[in-house]
Amino acid sequence: MSQTLNIQNGKIVTVPEVATIEEIRDEIREVKTFYLSIDNKEIWNNFKYRSGQFIMCTIFGAGEFAVSLPPSPENDRFHITVRTVGKVTSALHALKPGDKVGLRGPFGNGFPFDEFKGKNLVYVAGGIGLIPLRSSIVHALQYKKDFGRVLVLHGARTPDDLMYKENLKEWQGFDGFETYITVDVPTPDWKGETGFVHTLFDKANLPIENTIAFVCGPPVMFNTVIGELMKRGLSDENIYSTLERHMKCGVGKCQHCAVGRTLVCTDGPVYTYRQIKTLGEEI
Amino acid sequence: MTMFLIKKADVGKIAQELSREYEVYGPMIEKSSGQTFFDRVEDLAEINLAAPIPSNPPKAVVFPQMERILAYEYDRTKNAVKMEPDYRVVPKALVGLRPCDLAGMLCLDRFFMGQEFVDEVYLNHRKKMFIVTNTCITPFKQCFCVCTDSGPAAKEGYDLNLTDLGGEFLVEVGSEKGAALAAKLGLAPAGDPHLALKNEKVDKSIAMFEDIAVDSKAWISRVMNRVTTGFAKEEVWEYIGDQCFECGACTFVCPSCSCFNIADVSNPECAGCADRLRTWDSCSYEGYSRMAGGHNPRKPVEDRRNKRFFCKLSYSQMKKYLRPGCVGCGRCAWVCPGDIGLPNVVTYVRREITR
């Protein structure tokens, strides 16, 4: 049974659960990972979520923001990875281990992994677009026997902007897992690939038949990658992404995350490219 | 259906009886401006059932313009968090609600309470409520409820429905609560001739739209088809967007608009203390869809205008409300400085007017 923190008997309860920051790790410039645990042990022990879902995080005195969730609790400590972009995320970055935050969630649909069984999985991530995909990658790692080839292609602006470098190295070691990395602007000591992330497709001998692709990153990268995937013959219904929108309530009431005739919080955040095309809105 | 009669001189007794248990809200004419407002009633004699349609919908009674949904205090030195939700259930009676405004409230009910998740804040406002509707025996200038199937008489959702028959009001009972109140007042029973008279009044009212309600007409069904299937020209939305002042007035006076913003307003004397406020918001504002960091997927105003009318006129939204999102009250046309109230938008989309 999954526990939703602010839904009780189908009613939305406005009070967040209090959680403690246990540890903070620096990732890249402006990005930190916060390891959290919910103070109420009963709720904490029953707290489960699906890969691809998100949570609303309250920073007391500053406000609330939406953030994608880590891999499921069996194989990773609960954490959120956040870049400073505005007032609330900056307030989070100013906190120290031991400080309290509030949590509501999990919300959203998550990735439909049952439909992916027996298929190749291709993850294409630009910059911090790897954060929302990471939970899905770890899921694939955990249930490796269910899938064919699993490829992770990660591009970033500079070598310093590469996310989860240790994870990428670690994943490379698993049987059937392949990781490819590229940067747009190399530093003098950079020995890897240079260029946008879709330039890795040939090198990776990208599978097309029986393949699901996950794409996440800034809008320009997103459109280029999707164009390239479709050109190679991947169908739009086999391309998945997670959308980002201004969110307030997380449960389909405030309407801020409306895109086309859907709401990102309840109908998303995971969409196929076929769905995205029908939304008729900018990504 | 049970029906009763109440003399015109006695109709105030309904509000009087309700005021024992409920906070009473009703239409009142403001002396200084001559405008009608639907608000909390202090002096029951001020309720005016003959007053024109109020300038404001009764939305604020169930969905206040600004309300606190949570108060919290985080003491960082003690590392303690105190949180209190702000739920109070206050019994409220709405007396003299117009049928369009009731239809708007039913839209809000279905949106906030009828979907996968029930909004508890809204539920608490709505929990203990008594609704007395008032049939519009004559339409007003800006009305077009006959186009949106929400008037001139209420069909469902009331506890008591009043219809002015001349010297007396027909009182139709719509719920057990309503029946109990009618019994308490000891009203005289009404029969089929009275109902026939009401129907005659309603038919006459509908016939009067042609001459009186000259401001607005809206061919909703035709446009609903176009908006739902995406068969509305880009250029039409651009033309509509060009006339939008982004003031948000249309959303604020709309009985069925329900978008809200949530903001934590902190206390300057306590860094970790704040009130979490929920306030009305409007999709016409540029900041509505802007994300932290500045990216705004809906920057052009026509993208956001398109969204509001999509909400009122699309089939996908109709599935949530079980009726069109527009209830034909005509207030948006009344307040819009750019002349793009819903009836005009319907005309633009229908006739593909682009300049």
What is the length of chain A?
Answer: 283
Token pair of A133 as six digits: 């995909």
pTM given for the model: 0.90
> Which of B121, B266, B289, B320 has the highest number of chain A CBs within 10 A, making it the mutation to test binding with A?
B289
Taking 60 as the threshold, does the pLDDT of residue A2 lie above it? Answer: no
Confidence of residue B190 (pLDDT cuts 50, 70, 90): very high
Topology given in CATH for the domain delimited by A113-279: Rossmann fold (3.40.50)
Query: Which two three-digit tokens encode residue B81?
Result: 């968090």
Residue A75 pLDDT: 62
For A60-116, what is each residue's pLDDT tens digit?
Answer: 999 999 999 887 666 678 999 999 999 999 999 999 999 999 999 899 999 999 999
**Which tens digit of pLDDT belongs to each residue from A191-249?**
889 999 999 999 999 999 999 999 999 888 999 999 999 999 999 999 999 998 999 99
Residue A147 near residue A178 (C-beta atoms within 8 A): no
CB-based contact A281 B303, cutoff 8 Å: yes
Closest residue in A to B284 (Cα–Cα): A256
Which candidate from B76, B121, B263 shows the least CB-CB separation from A63?
B263
A269 shares contact with chain B (CB less than 8 Å): no
Q: Find the helix packing angle between B342-351 and B234-242, rounded to 10°.
A: 150
Mean pLDDT in chain B? 91
How far is B294 from chain A, CA to nearest CA, in Å? 9
Distance from CA of A27 to the nearest CA of B (A): 19
Helices (H), B172-321: 176-185, 192-208, 220-229, 234-242, 249-253, 301-313, 315-321
At B51, the pLDDT band (50, 70, 90 cuts) reads: very high
Q: Which CATH architecture has domain A7-107?
A: Beta Barrel (2.40)
B112, closest residue in chain A (CA to CA): A253
Please answer whether residues B327 and B107 qualify as being in contact, where contact means their C-beta atoms are separated by less than 8 angstroms.
yes
Mean pLDDT of all residues in B12-18: 96
Q: Annotate A39-88 with three-state secondary structure.
A: CCHHHHHHCCCCCCCEEEEEECCCEEEEEECCCCCCCCCCEEEEECCCHH
What are the tens digits of pLDDT across the range A118-148? 999 999 999 889 998 998 898 898 888 999 9
How close does chain B come to A63, measured CA to CA in Å? 5
Which tokens sit at B40? 């909390």
pLDDT at B125 over 70: yes
Half-sphere exposure of A260 (CA within 13 A, CB side): 17
What is the 3 state secondary structure string of B158-211?
A: CCEEEEECCCEEEEEECCHHHHHHHHHHCCEECCHHHHHHHHHHHHHHHHHCCC
The answer to whether A255 and A281 have CB atoms below 8 angstroms apart is no
A252 lies within 8 A of chain B by CB: yes
CB B260 to CB A253 under 8 A? yes
Q: What is the pLDDT of residue B13?
A: 95
Provide the residue ranges of all domains of chain A, joining segments of one domain with +: 7-107, 113-279
Q: Would you state the pLDDT for residue B178?
A: 96
Distance between CA atoms of B23 and B58, rounded to whole angstroms?
Answer: 14
Under 8 Å CB pairs connecting chains A and B tally to 121
Element (H, E) at B6: strand B3-7
The predicted-structure confidence for B152-166, as pLDDT tens digits, reads as follows 999 999 999 999 999
Kindly state whether A60 is in contact with chain B, defined as any CB-CB distance less than 8 angstroms. yes
Which of A14, A15, A20, A36 is best to mutate for the B interface (most B CBs within 10 A)? A14
Cα B37 to the chain's mean position, in Å?
13
Distance of CA A63 to the CA centre of its chain: 22
Coil/strand/helix, residue A100: strand
CB B274 within 8 A of CB B265: yes
Residues 6+ apart with CB under 8 A from A83: A30, A31, A89, A128
pLDDT at residue B1 above 80? no
> Is this complex scored with an ipTM above 0.85?
yes
Q: Which DSSP helix (H) or strand (E) runs through B332?
A: helix B331-335
Query: Is B115 close to A252, i.e. CB distance below 8 A?
Result: yes
B121 contacts on A by Cβ (under 8 Å) = 12, 14
- CB proximity list for A66: less than 8 A, separation 6 or greater: A54, A55, A56, A57, A107, A247, A250, A265
C-alpha dihedral over B150, B156, B159, B162, to 10 degrees? Answer: 50
Residue B68: pLDDT band (50, 70, 90) is very high
Summarize pLDDT for B248-275 with one digit per residue, the tens: 999 999 999 999 999 999 888 888 899 9
Nearest-CA residue of chain A relative to B80? A100
Q: Which residues of B touch A266 (CB under 8 A)?
A: 116
